[in-house]
Structure 1
Amino acid sequence: MFLSEEADQFELPVHETGFTHEELEELLSFLESNEPVSPNSGSEISTRAVSFIESNEPVSPNYGSEGLTRAVYSADERKKRRMVSNRESAKRSRWRKKMHLENITDEVNHLSIENQQLKNRVNWVVNQYHIVWRENEELRSESVALWAKLADLYRTLATMQPR
């Protein structure tokens, strides 16, 4: 099935104008006929089509219920709107970048403090290790001295005992 045959089967509004396929064909036939068109001319053209032809602006799909036309912007207006939109987007981007930088700075500060605390703790543990190591060395040397005294006492005792 061809695209044009599919378009004839479905009565979906056309995206840009809000008109159905039949309404567009009706508009084209009246525009090609060069006949003056007015709502009271007795022709079969719809009120929406007459409104579209007279205003030369697209009509919203809910024209009858809303009574409003869709805004169409000139190239300058689109450029101005795009510039404003770009400025707002850039402003949001700068704000996000600033927030990200502040978050990273806060994290760096927090990690620096935590790092300093861990360094202090390591220094304390190293100092405690040195204190315990010195005490252990003193106890070992005292133990060696006591073992030497004990050995002397055993020898003295052994010499004093009769055999």
Structure 2
Amino acid sequence: MASTSSGSSNLLPNSGSEAEVLQALMDQKKRKRMLSNRESARRSRLRKQKHLDDLMAQVSQLKKDNGQIITTLNLRTQHYLVVEAENSVLRTQTMELCSRLSSLNEILHCIGGETQSPWNFLSMNQQPVMASSDIIQYYMMTT
């Protein structure tokens, strides 16, 4: 029995030192894992910050682009309104000129008859047709 107790006492000190070694290894692995986790978290924060910075730069660029588009749109709208006003004036003048031409054609038709060409009346009259002052002013503005 003495040998068993001495044999078991030999195991206990060995078991104690092995336990301490195992505990030290586990502590070392735990510290290494904690350091690894901290480094991974740091890299994750850096990636997140870089992504946020990139998004903020993109927002800034998009705002700038949007401002330029709005400015261009406003200029185009102003130009469109000017052209539309000019077209309206031209349509009105076209209608007025068509009405005058129609009236002149009716006069020529009444004077010359249906068989005579309206242009023959001009050669018979031998006097120039006078333009109204508003047509002359329009002609002067466009040239």
Whole-angstrom CA distance in 1 between matches of 2:79 and 2:37: 61
Which position in structure 1 is the counterpart of 2:69?
A: 136
Q: Point out where structure 2 has 5 or more consecutive residues left out of the alignment.
A: 99-143
Whole-angstrom CA distance in 2 between matches of 1:110 and 1:120: 15
Which position in structure 2 is the counterpart of 1:83?
A: 16
**The structure with more radius of gyration:** 2
Whole-angstrom CA distance in 1 between matches of 2:10 and 2:53: 64
**1:104 equivalenced with 2:40 (yes/no):** no
- The root-mean-square deviation of aligned C-alpha atoms, in Å, is 2.0
Structure (1/2) with the larger helix percentage? 2
Give the % identical residues: 7
Deviation at 1:80, TM superposition (A): 0.3
* TM-score (norm: length of structure 2): 0.60
Which position in structure 1 is the counterpart of 2:50?
A: 117
Deviation at 1:145, TM superposition (A): 1.1
Deviation at 1:109, TM superposition (A): 1.2
Aligned length: 94
Deviation at 1:96, TM superposition (A): 0.5
* TM-score (norm: length of structure 1): 0.53
Select which of 146, 155, 160 maps to 2:79: 146
Whole-angstrom CA distance in 2 between matches of 1:89 and 1:117: 41
Whole-angstrom CA distance in 2 between matches of 1:160 and 1:131: 44
Deviation sequence 1:90-114 (CA, Å, 0-9, x none): 0000010011011111111111111
Deviation sequence 1:51-80 (CA, Å, 0-9, x none): xxxxxx9xxxxxxxxxxxxxxx61211110
Deviation at 1:138, TM superposition (A): 1.4
The one-letter code sitting in structure 1 at the alignment partner of 2:45 is S
